[in-house]
Each structure stands twice: as structure tokens, then as C-alpha cells.
Structure 1
Amino acid sequence: MAPEHLNLTPQQALSRLVPHILEMESKAHARIMIGIAGGPGTGKSTLAAELVTMLNATHPGSAQLIPMDGFHMKHAKLEAMGQTDYKGAPHTFEGAEFVSFLHHLKSAKQEVSGPGYSRKIEDVVEKAFTVAAEVRVLIVEGNYLLLSEGPFAGARPLLDYAVFIDVPRDLVQTRLLKRHGEEGLFSEERNRAHIERNDLPNYDLVCLSQDRADVVISLITDQ
């Protein structure tokens, strides 16, 4: 079935998603997993974090953010593979490990810790978050949740509801240049080259997977 397509501001998107997820949670007999997918620079991480905050404001401790970025391959491993120029592409993630982690989380009855990713050091941070036993809603966000090939293909069947966030390519390019420059780790020339070689092709790949979502939200934003 084709996904529903909506044009919404970020606030409108939250206002639509929160009641829907609360209703799903009220009818579920176990944990539910909500996927927030989209290309790099689309604002999905911000939206997912705000979603968790709003869900927890309604039912404290009920929701937890699960970032796919914690499953980047360690930078040292990418260096050894000669793949640092392609960091962020699907093959530079521990995709099978990520899907296995989601599978474990869905049925876990005890506290579970998971990895995160720090842009300040451009590397993985172990035990960056903890999912408490009482958490009922897992908000999973990442670029490759809806891919139909490779290890990430195992993620979509675990999602009870999948949201794809769509933002125009030129706006994404502008945002990525700003993001890469914020920590001052690399030159602007390097950042531009990385975006053209890696980030935008990844964005294009992710856009091909949007038909596997339940709803596609084109975010109305001017920055």
C-alpha cells in the first residue's frame, strides 16, 4: 500500500504523530517501535528527539530515542579499511549489529544500554543511552531504516509504524555544509567535497526507500 503523503511544518508533524503513537501504545500488548527515517540533514534527529520529549511529557518514562548513528563503524576500523571518505554510507555501519540490537530491544524485559555518536569527536560512544525496562515506545531514527537490500533490510519488519521525512535536496546541502563546519574539524573545501562525494548520494539512495514508509512528511521549513 502506498504511503500517505503530508506537507506539514515540524510542529504540525509533531501534533499529528504524538496522538497517533499514543493511540497505538494504548492498544499494544508489548513495546512498539516507531521509525523516523530520511536522508542526512532532513531534520529527522531533531524531530525524533522532540517526539520523545512530548511523549514523555504525557506519560513520563514511556518513550526512548534509539539513534542508528551509534552503529557507525569505529573510525579506526574505517581507517584500516580505507573508507573514511565514505563515512556515513550504508557499508560504513554495523548494519547487522544494529538490526540485531533492535530485535533484542523489542522484547527486552530488562534495562538495555546502547551506543551513540558524537560529532565533537566524529566517533562512536559506548553506552550513550539506557532503555529502562518500563519503556513502552521506542523512537528509532536513522537514514537507512527503510532500505530493502543489505543488512538494514531487517529493520523495516521490526517497525510498527514508519515515518519518512522529506526535505528538498538543495536545502539539505546547505544544512550539511553548516553542520560539518560547526565543530571546525575540517576545512570548508574538505566538507564540500565530502558532501558531494558521500552525503548527497546517500540522500538520493534514502529517497528511493520512502515508499516503504507508512507516511511521508514533506517538512515545510525555510532553513
Structure 2
Amino acid sequence: MTADHLSACESMVGQGRAVLGIAGQPGAGKSTIAQRLVADLAAAHGAGFAAYVPMDGFHLGDRALMALGLLDRKGAPETFDDEGYAAALARLRTASGPVYVPSFDRVLEQPIAADLIVPAAARLIITEGNYLLHWPAVRAQLNQVWFVRLDPDVRRSRLIARHVEFGKSPAEAEEWVRRVDEPNADLVVASAHLADRFVDGVTGAFVT
């Protein structure tokens, strides 16, 4: 990332912790940008200055989704524990010790509880996901939200390739993108105007 990105992150950090959200449609490149920011901030300020907390860790597990009749809509807003996510972000803002948060394993397609450690010394929490601007309780915990923009055709191609990589046939991947991912993408972009800044999903540069 550039000096502009690092400066924008550093300016959020005051006396207490800050939380930066990276939002965007499925396949826009949110996790890549968030993890790159964490790495660059570690290089500039030392390991543990920033910590990564993915929204996908708050996916409901398949057993819960089956019980709710939602397995075929996995990835839609109602298939997440959004209240748990908001509560975790609130705890992270004020915690004085390490906090253990869930990750998401794309091979298993399941959340993994307490898989990531946010160290006590972390000054900036970087969280990313589709619905950061869609859920008011989550947005309330974020100092800023950056929205990642990407050409729709490129984004859909990325999604199809990702689904194939993790086990779907090309036909199944295209059907899933059409039936599940794209309706979710439309929902995500409807709240994009609430973002503080916009980021290009290819270059990572700030855009207007």
C-alpha cells in the first residue's frame, strides 16, 4: 500500500484503539487489501501494531444453516451472526488483554472459533467484509469504512475462479454466483454511499 494509506490508518489511532472497516461486494479484493495493510503497518510500526479480524469468521456453521433452512443462501446477511460480530468489535475497542476471534477456512467452508489472536498491543483493528455498511450496529463500531470498487466482470470472474478452486464445478460456480453472490452484491453496493473513502480493487489506490 502507499504512504497515503498508511497515513490514513495512522491518523485514526489516538489514545485508544481504532477500528477500520474494508467493505465491498463479493470478490472485490477486500481481504487482500486488509491483509496487505496489516503487513505494511507491521513493517512500519512493528508486529502487532495492526490486527486482522475477518467478518467471515462470524458465518453461521453449516449445521446451524441447515437447521434454519439457509444452507443454500450461505453468504447472505442472514447467514451471519451479525450481533456477535458487532459485540466482538465493541469488545476489541476497549480490551486491555489479548482477544481471540474466529477465522474462516475456505477449504472447509466453515468458521473456526478463536483461531486468530488480537494482541493487547494492537492499536488498529482492520476488519473486512461485505456487510459492514449494511448492519448499523457494526458500522457504529468502525472509525472509518473504505469501500473497494472493482469492474463487475472482473469481480464475477474472480468469484467463479474462487468457487472452482474450493471445489465447485465451473457450472456450479457460475450458478452460485448468479443465484447467491450477485443478489448479495446488489445489496452491498446499495449502502456504498455511506463509506468514508473508496479504493480501487486492482491498484489499491484511493479513488473518488
Q: What TM-score do the two structures reach when normalised by structure 1? A: 0.87
Residue 213 (structure 1) aligns with:
195
Q: Does 1:135 align with 2:118?
A: no
* Aligned pairs (5 A) from 1:114-153: 114-147=101-134, 152-153=135-136
- Ranges of 4+ aligned residues in structure 1 off by more than 6 Å: none
Residue 5 (structure 1) aligns with:
none
Deviations 1:177-196 (A, max 9, x none): 00001122x22222211111
CA distance in 1, matches of 2:202, 2:159: 18
Q: State the shift of 1:110 in Å.
A: 1.1
Q: State the shift of 1:218 in Å.
A: 3.2
Residues 188 and 219 of structure 1, relative CA distance in 2, 3 Å threshold: closer
CA distance in 2, matches of 1:141, 1:63: 13
Give the paired residue count. Answer: 202
Q: Which moved more, 1:16-25 or 1:168-177?
A: 16-25
Residue 50 (structure 1) aligns with:
36
Q: State the shift of 1:216 in Å.
A: 1.6
* Aligned pairs (5 A) from 1:72-221: 72-147=59-134, 152-184=135-167, 186-220=168-202
Q: State the shift of 1:18 in Å.
A: 1.0
For 1:165, give the aligned amino acid: V
Aligned with 1:158: secondary structure? coil
Structure 1 unpaired stretches of 5+: 1-10
Q: State the shift of 1:171 in Å.
A: 1.2
Q: State the shift of 1:220 in Å.
A: 4.2
Structure 2 unpaired stretches of 5+: 204-208
Aligned with 1:47: secondary structure? helix
2:22–2:148 Cα contact (<8 Å) kept: yes
For 2:36, give the aligned amino acid: E
Q: Does 1:21 align with 2:5?
A: no
Deviations 1:125-180 (A, max 9, x none): 11110111111000011110011xxxx21111211111000112211110000000
CA distance in 2, matches of 1:216, 1:183: 29
For 2:178, give the aligned amino acid: E
State, as a whole percentage, how many aligned pairs show the same letter: 37
Q: Which has the higher contact order (CA 8 A, sep 6+)?
A: 1
CA distance in 1, matches of 2:99, 2:202: 36
Q: State the shift of 1:66 in Å.
A: 0.8
Residue 4 (structure 1) aligns with:
none
Aligned with 2:140: secondary structure? helix
CA distance in 2, matches of 1:66, 1:99: 12
Match of 1:67 among 54, 60, 68: 54
